[in-house]
Amino acid sequence: MAQVVGAVAVPHTPHFPGIVARGEPLAADIGRLYDTVAAHLRRMRPDVLIFFTCDHYNIFFVESVPIFSIGVADSAEGPSDYPELDRYTVPMASPLARRIQEHLVRSGFDVGMSQEFEVDHPVTVPLHFLTPDMNVPIVPLFISGLMPPLPGASRCHALGEVMAEAIAAYPEAARVAAVASGSFSLEIGGPRISQHSHTGVPEPGWVGRVVSLLRSGKVADLVAEATAEQLGQAGNAGGELLTWIAMLGMLGPVRPAFLEAQAEFGHAFGAWHPQGAAG
């Protein structure tokens, strides 16, 4: 039977691969953080990654914006949005994805099914650092975290819980890990950007609060405090936190084995190893 063996969560800043490749001043710290998370992920020995992400107006945009959608293709090319980034063919675990989507729908979650698409940088940047050989297939779960109205935090957490049920019911043996991709406070090209960049961190206090709750394993408090108003105050990309909350729903109540923030960027890096997961 399939089992959840752990989870990691990282940001997807599109400039980070180039910064590391060029050896710029931030490269050492960025590389250390991704390398630490990648080491935790290797310890989990996953066969499949459930990848929680938010589309950045590249896959769905204004024609049709599902609150939740799961990718069921055999593979996808990407990134679709930053030509300077390395381009990959990302393999996908289509049979598992289809089984999860069916289970979610039968459990009361109206989750769409995406059969042909490209992935954007929120998927490829983390994979560039975590599984650069693209040798672990993913199941992408898209959460509408950038275009209001956003789904509720409690709904996203419940989604993760039901996904764990679907994985436990999957008849084939598979070690399944989760990846959450996103920031806690981030403004992109809006009125709250910094004076020296096209981005900003409008709510640094919220970043600290999220990290504190994550570190202490107080997921219920995080879900309660991640209201639509709070996510909006955190920036026009503040809803990316919902990917972390969905991942925590899938994982269950456990404190992180590793958690470190880059407060100046409004995000963090983390890894979780649930008790009882077979080594």
**SS3 sequence of the chain:** CEEEEEEEEECCCCCHHHHHHHCCCCHHHHHHHHHHHHHHHHHHCCCEEEEEECCCCCCCCCCCCCCEEEECCCEEEECCCCCCCCCEEEEECHHHHHHHHHHHHHCCCCCEEECCCCCCHHHHHHHHHHCCCCCCCEEEEEECCCCCCCCCHHHHHHHHHHHHHHHHHCCCCEEEEEEEECCCCCEECCCCCCCCCCEECCCHHHHHHHHHHHHCCCHHHHHHHCCHHHHHHCCCCHHHHHHHHHHHHHHCCCCCCEEEEEHHHCEEEEEECCCCCCC
Q: Is the pLDDT of residue 277 over 70?
A: no
How far apart are the C-alpha atoms of 54 and 182, rounded to whole Å? 8
Q: What is the pLDDT of residues 191-206, one digit of tens each?
A: 888 888 888 999 999 9
Q: What percent of the chain has pLDDT over 90?
A: 87
Q: What is the pLDDT of residues 90-117, one digit of tens each?
A: 999 999 999 999 999 999 999 999 999 9
When the pLDDT of each residue in the chain is averaged and rounded to a whole number, the result is: 95
Q: What is the pLDDT of residues 6-29, one digit of tens each?
A: 999 999 999 999 999 999 999 999
How far apart are the C-alpha atoms of 43 and 59, rounded to whole Å? 32
Tokens 């394993």 identify what position?
Answer: 217
Q: What is the pLDDT of residue 64?
A: 83
Do residues 210 and 219 touch, judged by C-beta distance below 8 A?
A: no
Least confident of 77-86, 154-163, 166-175: 77-86
Q: Is the pLDDT of residue 242 over 90?
A: yes
Q: Is the pLDDT of residue 275 over 80?
A: no
How far apart are the C-alpha atoms of 16 and 48, rounded to whole Å? 25
Q: What is the pLDDT of residue 194?
A: 85
- What φ, ψ does residue 78 adopt, rounded to 5°? 175, 165
- What φ, ψ does residue 125 adopt, rounded to 5°? -65, -50
How far apart are the C-alpha atoms of 246 and 26, rounded to whole Å? 30
Q: What is the pLDDT of residue 276?
A: 54
Q: What is the pLDDT of residue 50?
A: 98
Q: Given pLDDT bands bounded at 50, 70 and 90, which one contains residue 1?
A: confident
Look at residues 44, 238, 73, 228 and name the one whose alpha carbon lies nearest to residue 150.
Answer: 228
